[in-house]
Amino acid sequence: MLVGDRCRTAVSWASTLIFRRVAPNPPKISVGVTVVPSQFLFISIPDAGRLFPHLAVGKELVRRGHRVKFVTVEPMAGLVGSYGTEPLVYQSAYESIPVHEEKEMSAEAAMLVLSVDDSAAMIDAVEAAYGDERPDLIAYDVASGTAGRVLARKWGCPAAQLYADFAQNDEFAYTQAFDDDGVALGKPLSPAEWAARSELKPWVDRTEQLLAAHGLTDVTFAELLEVVQDFNLVYVPKALQPVADSFDDRFRFVGPCAGEQAALDDWQPPADGLPVVLVPSAPQSADLARAFAGAPVHVVLTTGPGTDPASLSELPPNVEVHASLPQGVLRHAAVVVSPGDVGNVTEALAAGRPVVVVSPALPARITGFQLARLGLGRLAAPDELRDAVFDLIGDPALAERLAWMRGEIEAAGGVARAADELEAHTAR
């Protein structure tokens, strides 16, 4: 299993068990103030899907004259450097899962323990690189929250939490139970309630061992998870966020943050004018493409860098396969099929395209529920995919709803606003 694959598995545990208490009347952040060059430290797990929005923001900060260091693994160091940011390489714990630990604890606990080990490796690499120097701001992905919070407490540095998924607080979190219609069944569990679960004791113990190793013996597991940062950057437009009104001004919803779009010269839609259904790389994506055999659509399937398109056999003649395509291909799609990754979904919506989410996993199902509530897409089982796509293609009111969301995304500000907010928070 590749490092990125392990990260995506771990994110379903590590990034969803994050809690936020929302305090009343938080301090306002003034955007547009004059700032001096600052040093930013970005921390994120080595998963390309989560890296790209952080890198886009980092690139903009570098363009404005700031210095940006980015914690990453060796295989991604070149990518990080290509954005003008400085790679700070560490050895990721996601490269291997100790077999003996998997046998002694649940899969959930094993992945959460692994996330703590990964954070420990990040912290060691950061401290070795910085010595007595300190960044002006630590900006960490929610899935790397342990590393970011430990460093912020130990160094006394301001910190910003980055959400590539939906933001979470005491009204909405991925730890909630949901019925088949996406209605939350009760409040999210608190950190103390999770800590009390006997099967998660290895995770609690490993976290408290890490705290002790860095001299934070006065901080408990629950206290670490309950830390409320003064600033949270969310790569989602607020109009798409579940329970949006429950989030205060410390949560800055800047919308999707993508880099410069690649040219479309190497791909054009077919001349037959059939609707294009885009199926990005995901587990069982080839099977999803096969669902459209004989249908009056043109399916564009991307396999990702780990799969040779030529290795896929018995695909219908209306399916076109590529290892990858420019992001701008979205503008040609009638419908996008997604595994439910929030970043993938917001990029499609930014291009004005509806989305069908096909995934049994809870985080993805929540995304599908939210799309359905807003009339921007569907949540479908694999055997319902074909009908869901044609329902959207035939929906006469869909264009108006998509135009509304596209306007919300544009108003959110994207990369430029994200950089503005980080500058202003650092200056404050």
- 143, 14 Cβ separation under 8 angstroms: yes
Distance CA 422, CA 417 (A): 9
pLDDT given for residue 85 in this prediction: 97
pLDDT given for residue 13 in this prediction: 44
For 50-76, what is each residue's pLDDT tens digit? Answer: 899 999 999 999 999 999 999 999 999
For 293-315, what is each residue's pLDDT tens digit? Answer: 999 999 999 887 767 777 777 88
- 271, 290 Cβ separation under 8 angstroms: no
pLDDT at 202 over 60: yes
Share of the chain above pLDDT 70, in %: 86
pLDDT given for residue 268 in this prediction: 84
Distance CA 389, CA 262 (A): 27
pLDDT at 228 over 90: no
Q: Bridge partners of 322?
A: 302
pLDDT given for residue 243 in this prediction: 93
Cα 270 to chain centroid, rounded? 32
Q: Which residue has the tokens 């990721």?
A: 92
Cα 58 to chain centroid, rounded? 16
pLDDT given for residue 17 in this prediction: 47
Closest CA to 258 of 375, 412, 379: 412
pLDDT given for residue 175 in this prediction: 81
The set of residues, in sequence order, having a beta carbon less than 8 Å from that of 116 and lying 6+ positions away, is: 146, 203, 206, 207, 210
pLDDT at 30 over 70: no
Say whether 151 sits in a helix, a strand or coil. helix
35: pLDDT confidence band, cut at 50, 70 and 90?
Answer: low
Q: How is residue 234 written in tokens?
A: 């969310």
Say whether 140 sits in a helix, a strand or coil. strand
Q: How is residue 65 written in tokens?
A: 């004259």
- 22, 170 Cβ separation under 8 angstroms: yes
Lowest pLDDT segment from 64-73, 129-138, 168-177: 168-177
- Which H or E run includes 133? none
Domains of the chain and any CATH numbers: 3-255+413-427 (3.40.50.2000), 276-411 (3.40.50.2000)
- 377, 368 Cβ separation under 8 angstroms: yes
pTM for this structure?
A: 0.87
Q: How far is CA 230 from CA 26, 84, 99, 142, 167, in A?
A: 8, 27, 39, 14, 14
For 366-416, what is each residue's pLDDT tens digit? Answer: 999 999 999 999 999 999 999 999 999 999 999 999 999 999 999 999 999
Lowest pLDDT segment from 85-89, 153-157, 269-273, 304-308: 304-308
pLDDT given for residue 34 in this prediction: 54
**Cα distance between the two ends of the chain:** 43
Strand order across the beta sheet in which 319-322 lies? 319-322, 298-302, 276-279, 335-338, 355-357, 377-379
